[in-house]
Structure 1
């Protein structure tokens, strides 16, 4: 057990990349299942159609909005830097003698744990290779999920394989619903942000909508980052525009916290926010942005596995005398 634990630590980066492939495969699997309910095609064709639709969406964004977004992306750093110095002047005017060097050193110390992790997960070649591996693994997993699930089950004793099969199915269903809800949340928040900012003629509305949509994949952490960027850009157009962007961020946050997150939790696994945030901090320090992105699905899968193991351990062998005070409710085992 000690050798296996040491091997898992040694291979942790590669295992995280494999888990990333599983997450992407679950996303493709969910899309293929939805498509299969409408069109009577095999799994291979359904997965291929989902991939083609995703590729067409990326090409459409790059073709019709790529130039505009590229110009806005080039203007964003200068806008944020200008608001940064305006904030310094405001602090000095209120008696706080803060310099740019002080804030930079504070930010550097706050992000010190992140900056120390410079190795990209997945090997020496870089983030492109890691992303490519995740995409390839996800496609293979989505094409033949039963093959790989059965292959892992072969490593277990015969009497544990049925339990593993049920656990793997429960994990797959929860992961598909979690990712489906996350994609819906990203789309709603991104489109709503773009429409609200565009209606008030806020600069870089399309880029801010894309940033909000992408960061919505990171619960607890993504919303404050996208909100800070949005508000900084808003105040570059004046006080009224800045207050309007704060209002938009508040509405988006309320939609995410009171509509999207409860909807996802009801259909998947209700995770405590502090537990997810702690996992994000730990995996973010260890593995960077990939750890942040996969922390939520990983915690959900671990919770399902622990609940299934707790339920299995509560099942007593035939002929065993159950004490009168023992709780034999199977549902209670899931909440123990």
Structure 2
């Protein structure tokens, strides 16, 4: 008994989880590691996440058509969705069937025209001393068009493009079939006391997205048709493909209009000075009509996004996520705007409740 120690330490060792200090530090470390892991996972999964979001955007388009059709056809939602899908498929097939050959020819002609116009501009700049000598212009043109060709080849790879479009269409179709089922599934992952507020925010974001897509489709249709008719009247070559491109690029405000205008003017001047000035006038008239007549009307009925906010979001989204992020920048911004507006309303409601209690 004499060998037994007089005092035995009862406190926890530093390596034991019973130590409050160790527990606190391990909790902090776990939080930071979890945050870093979540960021790394988001970076790795950014393309699949964008495809899922694109599917949700497509679902909002289908859902908007179903709701609009429900105002005139009092039938079940499934039948209305079937009618909308059939109409979309028929429209796409009819468009490709009627204009496919002509558009294919004009796309080839458009690329050749742009190559020639780019070479002319580069040669003029070289003559002014702005660019390297004329001997380097041909190499620069070939290099630039080779880069464009590689980019076009990458974007237009049959398997990748068709797979992405197929996945977007499938996700959008399934979500549009039973939106409440997927909504309840997401709500289930939210704490019980936050579910009502979460459901309200999601409902507002969905409504905002539907309105934005409806307005965007109207603007795309108007710009494409007006551009096509005006260029055709003025004798601008490839009026149809330019109208189609203008309508498609109108999905991306600001940047899309600049790109379509540059293509339009380049093709116009390839047919002569007068035709080039007609193309410039067409671009100015269409954009003026869209900016001062159509856009204010659509914005009052849909979503009013400030141009500077939209452009800033497009720049950041394109830098972070590429071309797909650029195309989806507007829906992202509109949904975040709706969520922030609801957060502001909730803060005002809480302040009002506190003032009444006091």
TM over 0.5: yes
1:74 aligns with 2:108: yes
Are positions 1:269 and 2:303 aligned together? yes
Look up the SS of the partner of 2:350 in the other structure. coil
Kept in 2: contact 1:174–1:267 (CA 8 A): no
Structure 1 residue 188: deviation in Å? 0.6
Give the corresponding residue for 1:155: 189
Question: Is the 8 Å Cα contact of residues 123 and 137 (structure 2) preserved in structure 1?
Answer: no
Q: Deviations over 1:260-295 (max 9, x none)?
A: 332333233332322222222222233322111100
1:215 aligns with 2:249: yes
**1:26 touches 1:142 (CA, 8 Å); kept in 2?**
yes
**Residue 88 of structure 1 contacts residue 99 of structure 1 at CA under 8 Å; is this kept in 2?**
no
Aligned counterpart for 2:46 among listed residues 12, 33, 41: 12
CA distance in 1, matches of 2:161, 2:101: 24
Aligned partner of residue 156 in structure 1, secondary structure: coil
| Equivalent residue number for residue 97 of structure 2 | 63
Q: Secondary structure at the match of 2:189?
A: coil
Question: How much does 1:45 deviate?
Answer: 1.1
Q: Aligned in 2, Cα 1:81/1:313: closer, same or farther, shift over 3 Å?
A: same
1:269 alignment partner, SS class: coil
Q: Give, in angstroms, the shift of residue 257 of structure 1.
A: 1.5
1-side partners of 2:353 and 2:97: how far apart? 69
The CA deviation at 1:102 is 6.7
User: For the Cα contact (< 8 Å) 2:119–2:137, is it kept in 1?
Assistant: no
Unaligned runs of 5+ in 1: 325-336
CA contact (8 A) 1:212 1:226 kept: yes
Count residues with an aligned counterpart.
315
So what's the TM-score if we normalise by structure 1? Answer: 0.85
**Aligned equivalent of 1:36:** 70
TM-aligned CA deviation for residue 69 of structure 1: 1.0
Q: Indicate the residue corresponding to 2:214 in structure 1.
A: 180
Whether contact under 8 Å (1:177, 1:264) holds in the other structure is no
- Cα distance, 1:321 vs structure 2: 4.6
CA deviation vs aligned residue, 1:149-206 (integer Å, no higher than 9, x gap): 1111111122211111111111111111110111111111101111011112211010
The residue number in structure 2 matching 1:131 is 165
Shift of 1:322: 6.0
Ranges in structure 2 where 5+ consecutive residues have no aligned partner: 1-30
Aligned-CA RMSD value: 2.9
Partner residue in 1 for 2:118: 84
| Distance in structure 2 (CA, Å) of the matches to 1:225 and 1:268 | 25
TM-score (norm 2): 0.80
Contact 2:113 2:270 in 1 (8 A): yes
Aligned to 2:288: 254
Helix, strand or coil: the match of 1:296? helix
- The 2-side partners of 1:135 and 1:162 are apart by 30
1:233 aligned onto 2:278? no
Q: CA deviation at 1:68?
A: 1.0
Structure 1 equivalent of residue 198 of structure 2? 164
Alignment correspondent of 2:26: none
Q: Residue 228 of structure 2 contacts residue 240 of structure 2 at CA under 8 Å; is this kept in 1?
A: yes
Partner residue of 1:196? 230
Residue deviations 1:88-111, cap 9 Å, x none? 3433454545457579879x99xx
For CA contacts below 8 A with separation 6 or more, give which structure has more relative contact order.
1
Q: Is the 8 A contact 1:88 1:98 kept in 2?
A: no
From the superposition, tell whether residues 150 and 210 of structure 1 become closer, same or farther in structure 2 (CA, over 3 Å): same
Distance 1:318 1:210, change over 3 A: closer
| Counterparts of 2:133 and 2:289, CA distance in 1 | 37
State whether residues 175 and 301 of structure 1, in contact with CA within 8 Å, keep that contact through their aligned partners in structure 2.
yes
Distance 2:195 2:68 in 1: 28
